């Protein structure tokens, strides 16, 4: 028993490492592949009934979290809907992170309890913003709590002639929920 008390200071001195965020995978359509390497998840809306919408971005390049933290409007409490939120605009404005592509997902809690793909976008070589979504993408959430959200983005092939716009997605994410702090 005495050994346990002697070891306790050592255990407290070396706490378990924090769970690191993880993003990997891709979405592809018509020869354009977006490979995801970074991501962020945050509460983007809370309606009058308390239903929370969590927005998830997976990006092809690293996000500048220090710049995101500097957004004063983004640090405010979420509004009742995502249309009034400036958070997505801040992320999509980081051209170094999103030019090669990004995917935006939203999970709406409450009775709906559903996740949907909002956008799969990239900037083409001529600077035009281009969408990639083929409509056959699916999102499955495995972990969803106030501190973490994890899931997979996949796709299912459709038969001709409905497969002309099919995309292929195999991506996964495991992210802490929260907007970067100053």
Is 26 domain-assigned? yes
pLDDT at 182: 86
Quick check: 63 pLDDT over 90?
Answer: yes
Which has the minimum average pLDDT: 8-22, 34-48, 82-96, 98-112? 8-22
Which pLDDT band holds residue 69 (cuts at 50, 70, 90)?
Answer: very high
Residue 169 pairs in a beta bridge with 27
Is 9 domain-assigned? no
Q: What one-character DSSP code corresponds to residue 134?
A: -
Is 135 domain-assigned? yes
Is 2 domain-assigned? no
Structure pTM?
Answer: 0.87
pLDDT at 6: 42
Expressed as residue numbers, the domain containing 129 is 16-176
Q: What percent of the chain has pLDDT over 90?
A: 71
Domain count, the chain: 1
Is 155 domain-assigned? yes
pLDDT at 19: 63
CB 112 within 8 A of CB 64: no
Is 181 domain-assigned? no
Quick check: 7 pLDDT over 50?
Answer: no
Is 57 domain-assigned? yes
Over residues 88-97, the mean pLDDT reads 94
Is 182 domain-assigned? no
Could you give the maximum distance between any two Cα atoms of the chain, in Å? 73
Quick check: 147 pLDDT over 60?
Answer: yes
Compute the mean pLDDT over every residue in the chain, rounded to the nearest whole number: 89
pLDDT tens-digit readout, 8-25: 444 444 444 456 899 999
Which has the minimum average pLDDT: 41-45, 96-100, 106-110, 133-137? 133-137
**Which is nearest to 40 in space by CA: 97, 122, 108?**
97
CB 63 within 8 A of CB 175: no
Distance CA 91, CA 85 (A): 11
Over residues 44-63, the mean pLDDT reads 96
């Amino acid at each position: 028993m005495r050994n346990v008390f002697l070891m306790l200071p050592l255990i407290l001195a070396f706490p378990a490492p924090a769970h690191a965020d993880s993003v990997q995978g891709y979405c592809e359509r018509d020869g354009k592949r977006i490979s995801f390497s970074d991501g962020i998840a945050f509460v983007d809306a809370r309606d009058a009934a308390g239903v929370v919408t969590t927005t998830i971005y997976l990006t092809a390049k690293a996000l500048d979290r220090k710049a995101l933290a500097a957004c004063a409007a983004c640090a405010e409490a979420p509004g009742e809907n995502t249309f009034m939120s400036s958070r997505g605009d801040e992320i999509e404005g980081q051209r170094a992170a999103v030019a090669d592509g990004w995917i935006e997902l939203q999970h709406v809690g409450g009775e709906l309890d559903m996740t949907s793909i909002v956008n799969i976008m990239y900037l083409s070589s001529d600077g035009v913003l281009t969408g990639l979504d083929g409509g056959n993408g699916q999102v499955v959430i495995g972990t969803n709590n106030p501190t973490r959200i994890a899931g997979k983005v996949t796709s299912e092939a459709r038969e001709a002639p409905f497969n002309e716009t099919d995309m292929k997605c195999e991506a996964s994410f495991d992210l802490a929920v929260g907007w970067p702090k100053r």
